[in-house]
Amino acid sequence: MAKTGIVRDVRYLDHQANTYHPESHHRLEVIHQMLQEPGMKGNYVEIPPRLATREELELIHLPRYVQLVSATAERDYAMLDPDTYACAKSYETARLAAGGVLAAVDQVVAGNVDNAFAFIRPPGHHAESSRAMGFCLFNNVAVAAAYALLAHKVQRALIIDWDLHHGNGTQHSFYERADVLYFSTHQFPYYPGTGYVNEVGNGSGQGFTVNVPLAPGPGDGEYAAIFEEILEPISLEYKPGLVLVSAGFDIYYQDPLGGMQVTPAGFANLARIVLEFAEKTCGGKVVFLLEGGYHLEGLRDSAREVLKTLRGEILAGGRDPSLCKSADQQMVGPIIRKVKEAQKPFWRLR
């Protein structure tokens, strides 16, 4: 079995809305319960989270924005954008979310664990350098990628974002850089509105942003096909030293916010595909971190399957080839061709 680290902490429940909100602490409560199940409990290496420092947050965020978020700690409640709340504990929780991913990166890069999953909140991929957006305060995955490059001298980091939504903040953080490649599948047109096929990066970052916008409908087979036909060849050519996965479970087939059809077995297969090419490029050094996912049972069941895949308890013999074969070509064939056309100047794609 592989050694798989997990980041979990009751303090991640402290970020709470004062009214109904889909991004609630209940999301982590069901995951914490799942981690106590027989067959899960004791099987994962605990990685204690830490608070990200201001300097670490400022690898991505402007100092005045970090200051603005820190000031919310002095108020009972604030709205940072129409969707994004901050209670008095949110600043600390958000620092612990970013720091939780940094702790996971430290352990994976050092080889103390083979891979890891950071169960953190608030999520991060919509957060821009100078503003909160879409339930996100600090951009956890972007801070982690910048940190890995700086603190661990990782040459190239790959960010895979399979959340339902486009990670606008992550894309913008590295849009003109070649040392972080951002790959996203997302429902489109949809919130936040970015993530067109022709958004491929700028300047020396050209070709290091890969967007796969999708109409509602894709499920296990279609996602597998996109990963195998676009993500995998680009990743093998890019040769990242670390892979970070913005794992949003809002592409689950019953998620209240989305129109995608992925099942827990489909998530496991995507995780397995990622592990397989990461094994070839960076010894399997992959850090998963939680983004969205708003169907509580779906979130719990999908996270469980991904964890079992990371540990090698399921799909240890390899990905399930029947899923990719089952892809509805009418549904995803055209978009796969369009993305390949846009990315062909930069990558060897068939």
Give the x/- contact pattern for Zn ion in 292-311, rule: CB under 5 A: x-------------------
Task: Give the residue nearest to Zn ion (CB).
Answer: 292
Chain positions 256 to 295 lying near Zn ion, rule: CB under 5 A, are: 292
| 152 classed as catalytic | no
For residues 52 to 71, the per-residue mask of contacts with Zn ion, x marking binding by CB under 5 A and - elsewhere, is: --------------------
Cα distance between residue 28 and residue 7, in whole Å: 11
Query: What whole-number distance in Å separates Cα of residue 278 and Cα of residue 242?
Result: 8
What length does the chain have? 350
Binding mask 193-232 for Zn ion (x = CB under 5 A): ----------------------------------------
Side chain identity at 130, as an amino acid letter? S
Should residue 164 be labelled a site residue for Zn ion when binding is judged by CB under 5 A? yes
Q: How far is the CB of 164 from Zn ion (least distance, A)?
A: 4
Stated as kind and residue range, the H or E segment containing 132 is none
Catalytic pick from 126, 165, 186, 295?
Answer: 126
**Residue 2 beta carbon to Zn ion: minimum distance, rounded to whole angstroms:** 27
Question: Do 91 and 11 contact (CB within 8 A), yes or no?
Answer: no
Side-chain-facing half-sphere of 58: CA atoms under 13 Å: 10
| 310 and 275 Cβ atoms separated by less than 8 Å | yes
Among 229, 250, 255, 320, indicate the residue that binds Zn ion (CB under 5 A): 250
Per DSSP, the residues of 254-295 read T-TT---BB-HHHHHHHHHHHHHHHHHHHTT-EEEEE-----
Residue type, 226: I
Q: In the set 165, 186, 308, 319, which binds Zn ion (CB under 5 A)?
A: 165
The binder of Zn ion chosen from 163, 199, 220, 255 (CB under 5 A)? 163
Query: Given the rule CB under 5 A, which residues bind Zn ion?
Result: 163-165, 248, 250, 292
Residues with a known catalytic role = 126
